[in-house]
Amino acid sequence: MLEDNEDLAFGLRNNLEIEGYEVELATDGAAGLARVRASRPDLVILDLMLPSLDGYRVLREMREDDLIMPVLILTARGEEADKVFGFRLGADDYVTKPFGVLELMARVDALLRRSAGGRFGGSVPSRFGDVVIDPARRTVRKHQRSIALTAMEFNLLLALLERRGAVASRLELLTEVWGHASHVLTRTVDTHVAELRRKLEDDAARPQHILTVRKSGYRLKFDAD
C-alpha cells in the first residue's frame, strides 16, 4: 500500500491484516515503486498525492515494467477526468476519499478474486486474428510475441471471448469483471477496451476484432464471422 497519510495507512493496514492479508506499507512514491518492483505483491493500493513520485507516475512506471497486478487507486480526487486518466494508465479500480472500510475491503476482495482467475478461465475460444489466448496460464500472444495485460484487461478479454461473438453491454461487463457495477464508472469499460485495442489490434483506430456495437456495448469478432 502506498499512502502518505500515516494515520489512514496504519488504520487500513490493521483492517487488512485482520482480514488475513499481508500488507507492506510505503509513504512516498519512489520507495513504494521500489518495493512493488522487489516484492511483486498480489495487489497495490495506490494514493495519487504522494511525495517524490505521484501516484500517476508510479502507475505508469509499473505498467511500463509489465507489473500487471491489480491497482486500486485511493484518493481525494473525485473528478471523472482524474479517474479516466488513472484507468487509461492501467488502474483497475478507484475509491474516492472519504470511503467506507467495508466498501474498500469488498473491492480488494473482488480484485484479488478476479486477478486470480475467479469465474474466468474455462473452455473458451482461444484465438482471433493473430492473437492467441491461453486462459489457464493467463497469457496472450500476438505475432508470436507475448503481450502484457493487466488482470482486469485479461478478465475483460475473457468475458468477451466467452460470449463467442455475442454482444456484451457495458453494465454486464462491469458486473462480471469488476463485480460492483453500481459504484464503477461506465467509462471504466471504455478505457479498458481502448487499452485492449491498443495492445491487440493492428490499428487501434480501426479495430477489426474488438468491436463497438452502437448503443449496446462490445463484441468480439472472430475470423469466421
Question: Which cell is 92 given?
Answer: 483497475
Which run of H or E residues covers position 133?
A: strand 131-134
For residue 117, name the pLDDT band (cuts at 50, 70, 90).
low
Question: Residue 137: pLDDT above 90?
Answer: no
Q: In the block, which residue shows the cell 479500480?
A: 93
Question: Which cell is 113 given?
Answer: 478474486
Q: 6-115 has which fold?
A: Rossmann fold (3.40.50)
pLDDT for position 97: 85
Q: 127-220 has which fold?
A: Arc Repressor Mutant, subunit A (1.10.10)
Question: Residue 61: pLDDT above 90?
Answer: yes
For residue 208, name the pLDDT band (cuts at 50, 70, 90).
very high
Q: Helices 6-18 and 101-115: crossing angle, nearest 10°?
A: 60
Question: Which cell is 144 given?
Answer: 508470436
In the chain, domain spans: 6-115, 127-220
Classify strands 210-213 and 145-146 as parallel, antiparallel or unpaired.
Answer: unpaired
Rounded average pLDDT over 187-208: 93
d(CA 66, CA 39): 14
Question: Residue 191: pLDDT above 70?
Answer: yes
Check for a shared fold between 6-115 and 127-220: no
Confirm if 167 and 218 have CB atoms less than 8 A apart. yes
Report the length, in residues, of the chain: 225
pTM above the 0.75 mark? Answer: no
